[in-house]
Amino acid sequence: MESKVRVAVIGGSGYTGGELLRLMAIHPKLELTVVTSREYNGKPISLVHPNLKGIISLNFSELNIDKISEKADAVFLGLPHKVSVKYVPDLVERGMRVVDLSADFRLKNPELYKEWYGYEHPYPDLLQKFVYGLPELHSEELKSTKLIASPGCNATATILALAPVVSSKMVDSYQFISDVKVSSSEGGAQPSEGSHHPERQNAIRPYEAEGHRHAAEAEQELSNLAKGRVKVSIVPHAISSVRGALASVHTWADLDDMTVWKNIASFYRGKKFIRIIRGNIHPYPDPKYVIGSNFADIGFATEHRIGRLTIFSAIDNLMKGAAGQAMQAFNLSIGLEEDEGLRLPPLRPA
């Protein structure tokens, strides 16, 4: 009998960590062996993740790389930016498989860490070794890497909307505005004034509207695809759903619907987690219909009168926007089908 891959989760008490655990609990080829949490060390996982009661019986443990490297072959890191970078090099040195869900290894150009994240990246060489974990763009590289930098949620939504546009060269100008509507789980598990229920519920609130960091990775990936400079401005808005994000990516371009459709369909042909939305009853993507799954639904609208093209991209921010995508990329890197353990239909209604 084939042995399972032993996996650890570092930083397993947040929402991304919890979603990784949910996925690992049903993944037929993975065995979860360690979950760390500084705050909850020694406590049952179900204390923090009550949904997992009766499903995962492990306790949280402390972050000890020696122990982790004994018990696991691969590590998923659900740590904040600038924290992940403290542990990743050691894991890499030990030859472990690493899936980092922070931003710390997403950007190839170390200069961008200064510009966007305000720190000098201490391991510029390591940046080159990581593969940006968006399987729709990098499936071949993922199959031959042990190091995955998993994309940000708003970046994922934006890149998936624009990849067919910039790679097909169907537009003249490579400058886009990605107006993103995001649910509250995107902000993480830490309470704050803005996330306090009476303040967040019914909000329609722009935030980080003057330079959202995910633009850096979106521009990196899209410029590579376009073989030219692509500029994207991401403007996120907090709304009152718990899960789901929609990117409405706008640009000035007068294209007929068939051209747009064909380019999107052709770009994503055979991609298991991309669904192209077009029709009468549900003409545009809505994250409501991907909740709980790893799908990204892509659609578009054109307004010829004014020469506008909008590409819509709908994801579950914790799945295709975080844990699901990390698992999809990891599956490829260990030689599995990309949808292994991820064939979860979305919930409806939810």
Binding part of the chain for its own copies, among 60-68, 105-113, 185-193, 327-335 by CB under 8 A, reads: 185-193
Nearest to 124 by CA among 142, 138, 141, 111: 111
- What are the two backbone dihedrals, phi and then psi, of residue 258, each rounded to the nearest 5 degrees? -65, -40
Torsion of CA 247, 249, 254, 259, to 10 degrees: -50
Distance CA 291, CA 242 (A): 10
Among positions 39-78, residues that touch its own copies (CB under 8 A) are 47, 49-55
- Say if CB 212 and CB 277 are below 8 A apart: no
Among 5, 203, 265, 334, binds its own copies (CB under 8 A): 203
The token pair that represents 3 in the structure block: 């042995």
Total residues found in the chain within this entry? 350
Among 128, 192, 259, 266, binds its own copies (CB under 8 A): 192
Stretches 84-92, 125-133, 159-167, 308-316: which one binds its own copies (CB under 8 A)? 308-316
State in angstroms the smallest separation of the CB of 145 from its own copies.
Answer: 28
Residue 348 falls in the annotated catalytic set: no
Minimum CB distance to its own copies, residue 227 (Å): 20
User: Minimum distance from CB of 94 to its own copies (Å)?
Assistant: 30
Report the distance separating Cα 245 and Cα 222, nearest Å: 20
Q: How far are the Cα atoms of 77, 106, 110, 184 from residue 238, in angstroms, in the given order?
A: 25, 24, 30, 7
Does 295 interact with its own copies (rule: CB under 8 A)? yes
Judged by CB, which is closer to its own copies: 61, or 233?
A: 233
The answer to whether the annotation marks 13 as part of a ligand binding site is yes
Report the nearest approach of its own copies to the CB of residue 19 (Å): 8
Q: Which of residues 79-118 bind its own copies (CB under 8 A)?
A: none
Task: Report the residue number, 68 or 274, with the smaller CB distance to its own copies.
Answer: 274
Euclidean distance between CA atoms 143 and 127, whole angstroms? 18
Q: Tell whether residue 185 is among the known ligand binding residues.
A: no
When binding is defined by CB under 8 A, the residue of 29, 108, 250, 262 that contacts its own copies is 250
317 known member of a binding site: yes
Per annotation, catalytic residue among 56, 99, 103, 153: 153
Minimum CB distance to its own copies smaller for 98 or for 314: 314
d(CA 156, CA 186): 13
**267: number of Cβ within 10 Å:** 20
When binding is defined by CB under 8 A, the residue of 211, 228, 256, 259 that contacts its own copies is 211
User: Does the annotation list 321 as a binding residue?
Assistant: no
Q: Is 347 in the site for its own copies (CB under 8 A)?
A: yes
Whether 16 has a binding-site annotation, put simply, is yes
Please give the residues from 273 up to 292 whose contact with its own copies meets the rule CB under 8 A: 275, 277, 279, 281-292
Alpha-carbon gap, residue 4 to 182, rounded angstroms:
36
Q: Which is nearer to its own copies, 83 or 253 (CB)?
A: 253
Q: Is 175 in the site for its own copies (CB under 8 A)?
A: yes
Left (φ > 0), alpha (ψ -120 to 50) or beta: where does 276 sit?
beta
What 3-state DSSP class applies to 246? Answer: strand
Contact window for its own copies (CB under 8 A) among 90-98, 132-140, 146-154, 246-254? 246-254
Closer to its own copies at the Cβ: 25 or 93?
25
User: How many chain residues interact with its own copies (CB under 8 A)?
Assistant: 94
Residue 181's beta-bridge partner residues? 237, 246
Report in angstroms the alpha-carbon separations of 213 from 33, 76, 106, 131, 265: 33, 22, 12, 19, 29
Nearest to 52 by CA among 24, 75, 31: 24
Give me the least distance between CB of 84 and its own copies, in Å please: 22
Annotated binding site for NADP(+): 13-16, 317
